[in-house]
Chains A and B, each alone.
Chain A
Amino acid sequence: MNESFEVSEAKSLGRTVVLRVRGRLDARAAPLLMERAAAVRANGQNLVLNLADVSFIGSSGIGAVLAVAEQFQEQGGIVRLTSLSTSVASVFRLLNLDRFLKIDANEEESLAAVEL
């Protein structure tokens, strides 16, 4: 339960930033993810969220991802999710979130899609 949570900037290409998320994306971690995403949005950049190392995603974490997607959309920005871990993919599938969120197999695909 005390597994650490990290959000690190993996790369920044043009107007797009890739954030890699690691650990449990739960109630404690959700505000941090929103804070980091808000900073990207404040710079007018697009966002690719790499969720490969997310070991668990709770309701607050899912809510945070949806809120980030909604905020970027409202301001004309783009968010793409990439490399979903098994636990994330199964919850997203359960809630059919793939109909709303743009999900790619890897960072390259996401970056290519953002640049289009």
Chain B
Amino acid sequence: MRPSSSSPEATRSRPSDGGTLHALAERDHALHALIDLNQGFTVTLDLYKTVDHLLLNLMGQLGTSRAVLWLLTDDPAAPPILIRSHGMNQQAARVLMERCGAQVVKRLCQDSAPILAAAMEEAFGSSAAALVRQEDIAILAPLWASGATLGVVALGPGVAGAGFQPLEVQVLEASLGIAGVAIQNGESYNRVLESSRQLRLANEELKQLDRKQSEFLTNVNHELRTPLCVVVSSLECALEMKQGPAELRTLLQNSVCQARKLFGMVDNLLTLSELSRDTLSLRVVEHDLIRTLVRFHAKRLPGVSAGRRELLLDVPPRLAPARFDDHRISQILDALVDNAVKFTRPGSRIVLRAGEMLRDETRWVHIEVEDDGPGIPADQLPTLFDPFQQPDGSATRVGGMGIGLALAHDLAERMGGRLLASSAPGQGSTFTLLLRANALGGGGPDLDRSTLQIETIDGS
């Protein structure tokens, strides 16, 4: 059914009803083609629909059953990208531009005018022209706008077997100019829409950050003022010197206790700041974790017990040496125990448990901090380690600055470890700190030291 393109430049045969009438009919057809083209561009801004419309219009305008459009990319070395093909196999259309796109684009950019089959050899060279002829393409034309070539349009020969008339080529050129502007406008508009969407998202994130910052400042104000008030009022009472030695001692003990609490909070804030600026230096060396845990348990037991919560230590007789920073691990464990205390009622039980495990083909020593509190809803688990985030979503219900778990998580990762949380409403919570293990007696797998992104001091 496809006509031969052996004489593509031949003039379409005219019926015998008079050349003038026929010429008028051709002009009428050309005018309607431009109106139709313009009408279609008012319907959509989508690139593919716009190109579909352009190609159908050109096919109807020139009476051909083949039309293809490729768009140039930002990379001048890359072949034009196939956008749509009617009547030509898509793979063939891609291959054609891969093989002779460079010559075609160069010449079309230079001439900014359609090139007909007869002129292709001179325009593109004999091998490129042969490839184009092989795909039965009768005309190659630039899609252009604002003085730049945006793409390439290929059209097959007219199905009537005739070539294209000068008026048809002129109308084609005008159509591609209109289409170029329409496609360029559509792309600009779509880019603006996408930028607006991204700005809206960024704005929402900024608003959320602003809200978190406000909440954080409120919490810091409250958390720092409370112990300071206790310290100041205790010292003022002591200065009045009306109390006996026992009362004086109690006042000073209160002051020391609250001052230590303040010290811990300031320390956490400084650590968080150092972590965010990536300036924190750690001393990750081999340690006996059992000894560290026994010491930690002894340090925290009085305070936790005073709050009417049981703090149990459950460690095996022996554990492989683990690699961690001794000072920072206390910060992590403090954050986990503080969190357990904060979210459990008096009478609850908190267990510190240690052991060894294999995970992701790595040998770990792990510490679990398990409580029998109300648990954490599943939807809050993903943001549990975000800074300034309270597990219940509010900034004030249980107090605190909302940095403890974030700090613990970041410190664990910086030590080459992991901090995981598992929980379900009504079933308590378990936080698991994984620390890289060395095998007892050197019989286990070696640690991959390349994964540690921090200053390490090897015990050996």
Residues of A within 8 A of B (CB): 26-28, 30-31, 34, 58-67, 69-70, 73, 90-91, 93-97, 99-101
Contact = CB atoms under 8 A, between A and B. Distances in A.
11 contacts: A26-B36, A27-B37, A28-B43, A59-B36, A59-B58, A59-B61, A63-B60, A73-B2, A90-B25, A95-B160, A99-B159
B1 A69 contact: yes
Contact of A27 (B36, B63, B66, B160): B36
B63 A95 contact: yes
B158 interface: yes
A51 B36 CA distance: 19
List the 3 shortest-distance A-B pairs measured between CB atoms, nearest first: A62-B60, A96-B160, A63-B56
B57 interface: yes
B29 A28 contact: no
B55 A63 contact: yes
A93 B35 CA distance: 21
A65 B87 CA distance: 12
Interface of B: 1-3, 12-13, 15, 22, 25-26, 29, 32-33, 35-37, 39-40, 43, 49, 52-53, 55-61, 63-67, 86-87, 158-162
B449 to A, nearest CB: 60
A27 B57 contact: yes
Nearest to B32: A58
Which secondary structure dominates chain A's binding surface? helix
A99 B12 CA distance: 12
A96 B12 contact: yes
Which one of B1, B43, B53, B162 has the highest number of Cβ atoms from chain A below 10 Å of its Cβ? B1
Which one of B36, B59, B60 has the highest number of Cβ atoms from chain A below 10 Å of its Cβ? B60
B87 A58 contact: no
Contacts of A62: 59-61, 63
B256 to A, nearest CB: 81
Contacts, number: 116
Contact of B63 (A28, A61, A97): A97
Nearest to A99: B160
Given A59-B33, A99-B160, A100-B1, A66 B53 contact: no
Contacts of A73: 1-2
A34 B22 CA distance: 30
Contacts of A100: 1, 3, 65, 159-160
B59 A63 contact: yes
Which one of A31, A34, A69 has the highest number of Cβ atoms from chain B below 10 Å of its Cβ? A31
Contacts of B13: 96
B39 to A, nearest CB: 5
Contacts of A94: 22, 25-26, 29
A96 B39 CA distance: 25
A59 B57 contact: yes
B55 A59 contact: no
Nearest to B43: A28
B39 A27 contact: yes
A91 B59 CA distance: 13
A70 B160 contact: no
Given A58-B32, A70-B66, A90-B25, A28 B159 contact: no
A21 B63 CA distance: 20
Contact of A58 (B1, B60, B65, B67): B60
A69 B12 contact: no
Nearest to B26: A94
Nearest to B87: A70
Contacts of B35: 58
Contacts of B29: 59, 91, 94-95
B386 to A, nearest CB: 48
B281 to A, nearest CB: 65
A3 B1 CA distance: 34
Contacts of B59: 59, 62-63, 66-67
A59 B1 contact: no
Contacts of A97: 63, 159-160
Given A28-B39, A59-B32, A99-B160, A64 B15 contact: no
Given A28-B40, A63-B67, A66-B59, 4 more contacts: A26-B36, A27-B37, A66-B64, A95-B63
B39 A26 contact: yes
Given A61-B60, A97-B159, A100-B1, A30 B65 contact: no
